Copies of this chain bind each other. A is one copy, B any other.
Amino acid sequence: MRPANAHSRPDQQPEPEGPAAGGATLAAIARAAGVSAPTVSKVLNGRADVAPATRTRVEALLRQHGYRRRRSPAQQSRMIDLVFHELESSWAMEVIRGVENVAREEGLSLVLSESAGRLMPGQTWVDGVLARRPAGVILVLSDLDAAQRAQLTSRNIPFVVVDPAGDPGDDLPSVGTTNWQGGLAATRHLLELGHTRIGVIGGPARMMCSRARIDGYRSALEAAGVPVDPELVREGDFHHEAGHAAGMELLRLPDRPTAVFTGNDLQALGLYEAARELGLRIPEDLSVVGFDDLPLARWVGPPLTTVRQPLTEMAEAAARLVLDLGRGRRPAATRVDLATTLVVRNSTAARQG
């Protein structure tokens, strides 16, 4: 039996009695680990006062035995967790707004955190989630490793990834966008304007969304019978400065491109700057297509032709999906890509001469 004080702290809820789906009881895990039941409970709740070796042993046993906490509404907090790879992202606000829309409808609090610059959120982040017991976790540009997935799953905390950077695997619920089609549409638009020397500045090679956009670019060229010139394919990092640096290189080539697809909007602005420095006018001397459709795309001069990522809608879809998973529903699709759309503004024009 538990000591009387086990009920006096808000985070030591009595665990629902009886075997959970998956078979093992908390008591059985405790026996196998050679610790008390309250200690196993502490590990389940991400409490800090457990020796690291003990925690590791208990987590391994939870996983081995397929332990699943019984889903109990009283235990579920009224929160949804939104974790960013980095809050620097200029489109983070669109995602925040989408999740906040759903959180507000559902009367949930939105907890926001950053995985501090790493694609795999660190252990501290996961412990915080375990202690908060949110209704669900939405990760943006972050993946979870297998151990972290197991930790969340054993606590019945559902998770969804938005716009995965890596290849999330078939079983990870995710909401993305049609990056390949977006790259295709951007490049076709330029081909239709008569351009054939078309450059591309991608993002980091490890980001699958960037690879998909470049592949769309390639396919559009090949379908139009235009050979892909490796000199015109540049890797950036999705930040303004990379667009500027790669832009300077491309625009100083002897047979420079007359149009460039910049992989995202920030790199387009860097390219704008490079063009300005070299005395090239947009769109008269150079056509530019971005990707994202950040609010600033319509405020810059000239307003930027770009591929719109429906970020707010993606975030809303991810939030609804994670809440459905938490309610035990099995939606028809746990992997969804929302369509991009080409938004034509003033940075593209027919090739001159």
Contacts and interface: CB of A to CB of B under 8 A. Distances in A.
Given A8-B7, A273-B301, A111 B114 contact: no
Q: Please state the number of chain copies in the assembly.
A: 2
A20 interface: no
Interface residues of A, number: 45
A300 B304 CA distance: 11
A300 B301 CA distance: 7
B109 A114 contact: no
A109 B9 CA distance: 19
A112 interface: yes
A117 to B, nearest CB: 12
Contacts of A272: 299, 301
Nearest to A99: B112
Interface in A84-98: 87-88, 90, 92-93, 96-97
A74 B299 contact: no
Contact of A100 (B7, B79, B113): B113
Contacts of A295: 90
A11 to B, nearest CB: 8
Contacts of A110: 111-113
A132 interface: yes
Of the candidates A90, A103, A270, A300, the one having the most CB atoms from chain B within 10 angstroms of its own CB is A300
A10 interface: yes
A100 B74 contact: no
For the complex of A and B, the 10 pairs showing the least CB-CB separation, nearest first, are A269-B299, A10-B10, A296-B296, A112-B112, A109-B111, A110-B112, A87-B97, A300-B300, A301-B301, A111-B111
